[in-house]
Chains A and B, each alone.
Chain A
């Protein structure tokens, strides 16, 4: 039995997802490829966004993939870490902003 839920080798098998549903798999990977092409944002900027989102959703495959992608693009560790702090700030902020709801409730109920 596999001892862990995640195996780094599985990342390389991502494309096999299409084997069980070729049509949807193909549509997904076409879309995915198109999303990361240079547009109003550069491929480099998109790579940094992907890295930050990878940490927000805590996807080990994505972190692995977009750290490597960033290195290949010449993205520095300082840029990567700044992107992560943006993710962390939004994630932390998302918890904290709900504090307003808590404050509203306390203010309403408490004497």
Chain B
């Protein structure tokens, strides 16, 4: 298993260095317009936050995998983990939030030692849609995680899981050897208790990220192909497929640079810029909370160290009135969310 950029002490482990790369070169020379310039052309700058709908909590960067495209640079060697004290604070916020969706992410959120306690407490509050972004392989990684499907079911969790392809070769290349077989086993376990089944209200959605330096194809076509292949090959079912564009952040940025694909990829993102996607980008209705309680417009800005442009920068200062209407902090990575049909943690935004 590869090590995280942090463990390798790569220069790209530094968010400031990533932002330099994203701001210099082709953007500094004027070969491509900066994201701010592009927004200004269509009178869409600054992008403003609307009413909060989704509260996304990153409970830590620790993960049992080191996927080659991971924008979090997550892995077994990452030690950043949300404490119970911070979770307690977030529970208070969930009680007062107007958000209808709570979205737990990581790393592998299940590896946080307080994950189950937090889910139990948060599910009592009665939020409409409670998502856990599970990488699937964690369910089979260790005996102590084998009961996760039952735990999810008990708390009526909406499971959203990564699955870059319906074949072993492409999946393992992105997510590591053995990831495909482990994911199939985990999906079977989830299906067996009702997740993703036609007559069940237990939702199981899959997330598709391209396995290289190219943009995702049409979401509904991919969903059709995924459903057909997983049904025929493994008798597996799921609800929806979210096609998500890889953003040039962290390990995916490292891959783009190392494979000499960075400039071509940025050209492809800029050429695919769709002003219609800007209206529904996820940062306008989402707030991302980091493992140490700081607030960001999205998980990508969190990884780039770009905090919200608001007086309320930490959960201890949380105030939805202050946060609504804030200017979203943008840089060139944002082109990833406005390319083609747009991209968000809920998939395409401009279908």
Contacts and interface: CB of A to CB of B under 8 A. Distances in A.
B222 interface: yes
A74 B222 contact: yes
A69 B216 CA distance: 10
Interface stretch (B86-94, B163-171, B300-308): B163-171
B221 A73 contact: yes
Contact of A76 (B170, B215, B226): B170
Contacts of A76: 165, 167, 169-170
Contacts of B165: 74, 76
Nearest to A12: B271
Contacts of A68: 214
B217 interface: yes
Contact of A72 (B166, B167, B210): B210
B214 A71 contact: yes
B221 A44 contact: yes
Nearest to A43: B221
Interface in A69-95: 69, 71-74, 76, 78
B222 A73 contact: yes
Nearest to A72: B217
Contact of B215 (A43, A44, A72): A72
Consensus secondary structure, chain B interface: loop
| Interface magnitude class on chain B | 10 to 19
Interface residues on A, range: 10 to 19
B170 A72 contact: no
A63 to B, nearest CB: 15
A67 to B, nearest CB: 9
Contacts of A69: 217
B225 A72 contact: no
Interface in B205-245: 208, 210, 212, 214-218, 221-222, 225-226
B136 to A, nearest CB: 18
B271 A72 contact: no
Interface string A38-58: 000001100000000000000
Contacts of B218: 43, 73
A73 B217 contact: yes
Nearest to B216: A72
A72 B169 contact: no
Contact of B212 (A12, A43, A71, A73): A71
A68 B217 CA distance: 10
A71 B271 contact: no
B210 A71 contact: yes
A68 B213 CA distance: 10
Nearest to B213: A71
A7 B225 CA distance: 34
Contact of A74 (B215, B217, B271): B217
Contacts of A74: 165-166, 208, 217, 222, 225-226
12 contacts: A71-B210, A71-B214, A72-B216, A72-B217, A73-B218, A73-B222, A74-B166, A74-B208, A74-B217, A74-B225, A76-B170, A78-B169
Interface of B: 165-167, 169-170, 208, 210, 212, 214-218, 221-222, 225-226, 271
Given A44-B221, A71-B212, 11 more contacts: A43-B218, A43-B221, A44-B225, A68-B214, A72-B215, A73-B217, A73-B222, A74-B166, A74-B217, A74-B225, A76-B165
Closest A-B pairs by Cβ, 10 of them:
A72-B217, A73-B217, A71-B214, A72-B214, A74-B225, A74-B222, A76-B167, A68-B214, A72-B215, A74-B165
